[in-house]
Amino acid sequence: MKDLALKNDETAAPRARFELDDRGFDEVPKKYRKFYRRWDGPDDTLAPNEVLCPVCKIVIRSHRELLPGDRVYCMACMSRLTVVRGKAGRLEAVLELG
Ligand SMILES: [Zn+2]
């Protein structure tokens, strides 16, 4: 199976990389905490490497910039998600079907 993330890249530019810090998200094992943080609500601005889980409203964080077509996993609610470009131009995550 082809790597959807690579195939769906919007640009050929190298992706920005991000250092993740532990934000104290304690609903997953400690080694995974840096990949998640709590969402502060509609005024919370998401970074290019962050996307909101539509199921449990936890912010999923990646070491690299996220692009439409990327697949992410929400460990908090065990949902498999695909990153899409939302109507407002922001990145959103939608549940994978099947
Ligand atoms: Zn979730």
Tell me the residues surrounding ligand 1 (ion) with CB < 5 Å: 53, 55-56, 58, 74, 76-77, 79
Is 87 or 40 the better-scoring residue by pLDDT? 40
CA of 80 from ligand 1 middle (Å) equals 9
Residues 84-93: contacts with CB within 8 Å, 24+ apart?
Answer: 90/46, 91/46, 91/48, 91/51, 91/66, 91/67, 92/51, 92/52, 92/54, 93/51, 93/52, 93/53, 93/54, 93/60
CA of 52 from ligand 1 middle (Å) equals 8
CA of 30 from ligand 1 middle (Å) equals 17
CA of 34 from ligand 1 middle (Å) equals 15
63-98: per-residue pLDDT in tens?
999 999 999 999 999 999 999 998 888 899 999 976
Average pLDDT score over residue span 35-53: 95
